């Protein structure tokens, strides 16, 4: 019997993805473990391996298709001895779970239809007698697009399920059309973030660049963070001269590693969470989750946005280990090869724009974390030491804090413990 290849869920939160490429073509022999396709999620591009052997009989979803729902059929594998005729009876609709029972209506149902309900037309595919129609998502989509009333269609799939060929047959025979919705009474679904209305005729020449899955998720998550998380910001200046001298000395000892300023920042951020455990927390509605380990998410810029691979238990790792792990994770991020466990679950984030010459900035919290540290460039500034004017290399860092979790005094305590580690970094080696 032919085997369906389903769109996999590559992370706990994934609901859809882009089928980036097919590594096999129709007619190719497939062995278990072969890479057959690449799926682009909101975070990375990941390979899909075959779990069965046979021949790729049909590609249902072509390469480059965006917004493919999890558990949708993307291809079909034929067993040994089967030919293309075996595909005829295969339903290529998405695998669906049984419909959940509707929640109880808090208000009693009226004994007779109201004027509003009597005037409202039935939606495509919803019978007026209240009976539920069993149809594949693909069949429903085609019916909705063509205005076909599924209540008048007989299903030939398992248990009378309406599938694609039933809809196509009904359309070919001039099946009943669903009543058109009243444009005055039908309410369009509300968009969570409506696009601005732009008069293109007033704009200079431009090109429309479709948003990738990653860019859509970034827009959604950061909009929600800025709108729903009560941010406040604390900034402190740290002198870097001792850190730069120590970094130069450590890097001169071997060619096997190259420690960056950011590696010092990651370790200092993690050590400070150990010193100020109240800051290593996140809001969870009915509770505040306080963590016993510092897992530091580090923002990495990639072509279509940014991603935050995580250095696990960074406070227990040395600078060389952090440096090597960060380089490996950053390379995988830029290649789109990060696994979900490598970018999910951090307890705090670090975002460094110092390499771009940015003096200071305020970052948006990466939900559900409680804070994010924004790191600016080190630059020579005039400072006063022992009552005399001097010049020092100074770096500004700004802590963005979720006020539901961390109050101002606690945030200040965190920066007060972070600053000495940066200014006297030998303490990080002890």
Q: What is the pLDDT of residue 317?
A: 96
The residues, any chain, with a CB within 8 Å of residue 68's CB and separated by 6 or more, are 7, 16, 17, 18, 19, 61, 74
At residue 246, what are phi and psi to the nearest 5 degrees?
-65, -40
Q: Out of 7-11, 18-22, 102-106, 233-237, pick the least confident.
A: 102-106
Q: What is the pLDDT of residue 262?
A: 97
Q: Please, where are the H alpha helices in 253-318?
A: 261-275
β-bridge partners, 363: none
The residues, any chain, with a CB within 8 Å of residue 347's CB and separated by 6 or more, are 273, 280, 281, 282, 291, 293, 294, 295, 296, 297, 369, 370
Report the C-alpha gap between 291 and 194 in whole angstroms. 37
Q: In what order do the strands lie in the sheet with 29-30?
A: 3-6, 73-78, 54-59, 29-30
Over residues 370-406, the pLDDT tens digits come to 999 999 999 999 999 989 999 999 999 999 999 999 9
Which one of the listed residues 216, 403, 404, 419 is annotated catalytic?
403
Q: What is the pLDDT of residue 114?
A: 33
Q: What is the pLDDT of residue 12?
A: 64
Q: How far, in Å, are 12, 30, 70, 74, 76 from residue 51 at the CA level?
A: 20, 9, 17, 14, 12
Please give the model's pTM, rounded to 2 decimal places.
Answer: 0.64
Q: Find out whether 77 and 52 touch, Cβ atoms under 8 Å.
A: yes
Higher pLDDT among residues 430 and 179, named by residue: 430
Q: What is the pLDDT of residue 132?
A: 62
Report the C-alpha gap between 73 and 57 in whole angstroms. 13
Tokens 């990375």 sit on residue: 44
Q: Is 177 strand, coil or helix?
A: strand
Q: Tell me the Ramachandran region of residue 111: left when phi exceeds 0, alpha when psi lies from -120 to 50, beta otherwise.
A: alpha
Q: What is the pLDDT of residue 170?
A: 83
Over residues 171-191, the pLDDT tens digits come to 877 766 555 444 333 333 333
Stated length of the chain: 430
Examine the residue annotation and report whether 159 is marked as an active-site residue of this protein: no
Q: What is the pLDDT of residue 52?
A: 79
Q: What is the largest CA-CA distance in the chain?
A: 94
- pLDDT tier, 214 (very low <50, low <70, confident <90, very high otherwise): confident
- pLDDT tier, 337 (very low <50, low <70, confident <90, very high otherwise): confident
Q: Is 44 strand, coil or helix?
A: coil
H/E element, 119:
helix 115-119
- pLDDT tier, 359 (very low <50, low <70, confident <90, very high otherwise): very high
β-bridge partners, 68: 17
Q: Strand pairing of 296-298 and 348-352?
A: parallel
Cβ-based neighbour number of residue 365 at 10 Å? 23
Which of the listed ranges 7-16, 54-63, 79-88, 100-109 does the model predict with the highest average pLDDT?
A: 54-63
Report the C-alpha gap between 22 and 38 in whole angstroms. 7
Tokens in use for 68? Answer: 């493919």
**65, 52, 75, 58: which is closest to 4 by C-alpha?**
75
- pLDDT tier, 290 (very low <50, low <70, confident <90, very high otherwise): very high
Over residues 245-265, the pLDDT tens digits come to 999 999 999 999 999 999 999
Report the C-alpha gap between 403 and 43 in whole angstroms. 28
Percentage of the chain exceeding pLDDT 70: 82
Which of the listed ranges 305-309, 334-338, 421-425 does the model predict with the highest average pLDDT?
A: 421-425
- pLDDT tier, 409 (very low <50, low <70, confident <90, very high otherwise): very high
- pLDDT tier, 98 (very low <50, low <70, confident <90, very high otherwise): very low
At residue 270, what are phi and psi to the nearest 5 degrees?
-70, -45
Average pLDDT, the chain: 82
- pLDDT tier, 93 (very low <50, low <70, confident <90, very high otherwise): low
- pLDDT tier, 201 (very low <50, low <70, confident <90, very high otherwise): confident
Kindly state the average pLDDT of the residues 27-37: 87
Report the C-alpha gap between 373 and 350 in whole angstroms. 5
Q: How far, in Å, are 195, 220, 345, 367 from residue 190 at the CA level?
A: 12, 15, 31, 24
The answer on pLDDT for 198 being more than 50 is: yes
- pLDDT tier, 273 (very low <50, low <70, confident <90, very high otherwise): very high
**342, 289, 253, 403: which is closest to 11 by C-alpha?**
342
Sequence-ordered strand ranges (E) for 12-127 = 16-22, 29-30, 35-40, 45-49, 54-59, 65-69, 73-78
Q: Is 168 strand, coil or helix?
A: helix
At residue 302, what are phi and psi to the nearest 5 degrees?
-130, 165
Higher pLDDT among residues 47 and 297, named by residue: 297
């Amino acid at each position: 019997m032919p085997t369906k290849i389903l769109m996999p869920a590559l992370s706990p939160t994934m609901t859809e993805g882009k089928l980036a490429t097919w590594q096999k073509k129709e007619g190719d022999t497939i062995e278990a473990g072969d890479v057959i396709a690449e799926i682009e999620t909101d975070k990375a591009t990941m390979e899909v391996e075959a779990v069965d052997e046979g021949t790729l009989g049909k590609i249902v979803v072509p390469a480059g298709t965006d917004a493919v729902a999890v558990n949708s059929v993307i291809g079909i594998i034929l067993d040994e001895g089967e030919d293309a005729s075996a595909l005829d009876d295969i339903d290529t609709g998405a695998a669906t779970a049984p419909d959940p029972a509707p929640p109880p209506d808090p208000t009693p149902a009226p004994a007779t239809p109201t004027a509003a309900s009597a005037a409202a037309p039935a939606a495509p595919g919803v019978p007026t007698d209240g009976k539920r129609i069993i149809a594949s998502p693909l069949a429903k989509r085609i019916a909705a697009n063509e205005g076909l009333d599924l209540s008048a269609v007989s299903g030939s799939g398992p248990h009378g399920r309406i599938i694609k060929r039933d809809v196509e047959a009904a359309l070919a025979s001039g099946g009943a059309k669903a009543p058109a919705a009243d444009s005055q009474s039908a309410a369009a679904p509300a968009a969570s973030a409506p696009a601005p209305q732009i008069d293109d005729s007033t704009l200079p020449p431009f090109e429309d660049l479709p948003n990738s899955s990653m860019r859509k998720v970034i827009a959604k998550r950061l909009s929600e963070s800025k709108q729903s998380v009560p941010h406040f910001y604390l900034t402190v200046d740290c002198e870097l001269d001792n850190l730069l001298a120590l970094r130069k000395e450590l890097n001169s000892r071997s060619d096997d590693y190259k420690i960056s300023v950011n590696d010092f920042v990651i370790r200092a951020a993690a050590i400070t969470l150990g010193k100020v455990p109240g800051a290593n927390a996140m809001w969870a509605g009915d509770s505040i989750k306080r963590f016993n380990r510092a897992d530091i998410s580090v923002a990495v810029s990639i072509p279509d946005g940014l991603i935050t691979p995580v250095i696990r238990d960074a406070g227990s790792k040395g600078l060389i280990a952090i440096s090597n792990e960060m380089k490996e994770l950053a390379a995988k991020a830029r290649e789109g090869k990060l696994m979900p466990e490598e970018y999910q679950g951090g307890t705090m984030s670090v975002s460094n724009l110092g390499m771009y010459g940015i003096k200071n900035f305020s970052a948006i919290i990466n939900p559900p974390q409680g804070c994010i540290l924004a790191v600016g460039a080190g630059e020579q500034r005039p400072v006063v030491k022992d009552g005399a004017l001097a010049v020092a290399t100074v770096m500004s860092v700004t802590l963005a804090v979720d006020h539901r979790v961390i109050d101002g005094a606690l945030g200040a305590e965190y920066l007060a413990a972070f600053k000495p580690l940066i200014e006297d970094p030998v303490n990080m080696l002890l």
